[in-house]
Amino acid sequence: MKRLFWLGLFLMGACIPSRAQLTFTSIDFPGGTLTTTRGINNNGDIVGSYRITPPRHALLIRAASYVPLAPTSVLGTNFSEAFKSNDSGDVVGDFIGDDGFTHGFLLNETGITTLDFPGASDTIAFGINESGTVAGYWDLLDAFGNLIAYHGFTWRSGIFSEVDFPGAIDTGVTGINAAGDLVGFWDTGVASPIGHGFVFSHGTFTSFDVPVTGATVTQPNDINASGQIVGTYIDANGLLHGFLMGRGAFSTIDFPGAGQTSAWGINSAGQIVGNYSIVPGGVPHGFLAQPGNKGKPA
């Protein structure tokens, strides 16, 4: 499975496939040529990235204001992206260093902490919860830059712990909620065209795949305090769609009129953020999706 591309309360067999009833708002950085929205906390703060000219940089959207994160640091000079923030305003993500490798970061009131899993080629921090536990993924590359393997991790107060789905060759962790439940993906090898999602809760791993005929990849990206999960799947035609799982149901998320959609973050109110592009592989735009279908997309 390529990089990036529960079940706590119910079994997948009991899910009822449907299309999520959501009200969408498109999000674009003013004057930007690219916008991603990756996470939303319970205060409604959204994090992601923007680009005016390459490369892209980490971004916070708060109260309709677009705030570049640490613009005079490495986050503002090199490629960077924010993936999640907790309710205290701590932000995690990744940046490309001057060494050409990807490093995770934690940005809080004390400054920027670089997160590098010991021995890793690249490290990406995808999630952070209210206790300050960070979740993510690290990989190994060969001398030619080819991906050899990847593994999940958690980090707390300077201590890394590896996370691997039992029996998997590769594992990535993409989200963590207030209770410490994890979501992520696993596969049987980096060349495998099939990828599966998982949830880790109360010491137990559970694998799942979206109940969509022909889907090849399931990638959960976030889990909220209620256990609702959002993520992305690849259908039989190779197209990306977002999904929402929870409360006994599975729903597909597609931004109206978009060629592809991915869902990346969900908060306790059920607000969802993610990305869409008009044509598959096109320039990404961010979106905010509110529960309910109260009007036309903005």
| Residue 284: predicted pLDDT | 98
In the predicted model, is pLDDT for residue 4 greater than 80? no
Encode pLDDT of 167-212 as tens digits. Answer: 999 999 999 999 999 999 999 999 999 999 999 999 999 999 999 9
pLDDT (tens digit per residue) in 126-179: 999 999 999 999 999 999 999 999 999 999 999 999 999 999 999 999 999 999
Answer for the pair 165, 151: CB distance below 8 angstroms, yes or no.
Answer: no
Question: What DSSP character marks residue 76?
Answer: H
Secondary structure class of 278 (helix, strand, coil): coil
Task: Examine the pLDDT at 93 and tell me if it is beyond 60.
Answer: yes
Please state, in angstroms and rounded to a whole number, the distance separating the CA atoms of residues 168 and 115: 24
Is residue 238 very low, low, confident or very high in pLDDT (cuts 50, 70, 90)?
Answer: very high
pLDDT digits (tens, 9 = 90+) for 29-58: 999 999 999 999 999 999 999 999 999 999
Neighbours of 7 (CB within 10 A): 20
Measured distance CA(134)–CA(56) in Å, rounded: 23
pLDDT digits (tens, 9 = 90+) for 254-263: 999 999 999 9
For residue 247, what pLDDT band results from cuts at 50, 70 and 90?
confident
pLDDT > 80? residue 82 = yes
- The reported pLDDT for the residue numbered 29 is 98
Backbone CA torsion sign across 177, 141, 207, 215: positive
Domains and CATH numbers, the chain: 7-291 (2.120.10.30)
Contact 126, 161 (CB under 8 A): no
pTM of this prediction? 0.92
Across the beta sheet with 170-176, the strand order is: 170-176, 182-187, 196-201, 204-208
Residue spans of alpha helices (H) in the chain: 74-77
Is 74 in a helix, a strand, or coil?
A: helix
Q: How far apart are CA 198 and CA 223, in angstroms?
A: 11
- Six-digit token pair at 189? 């090898």
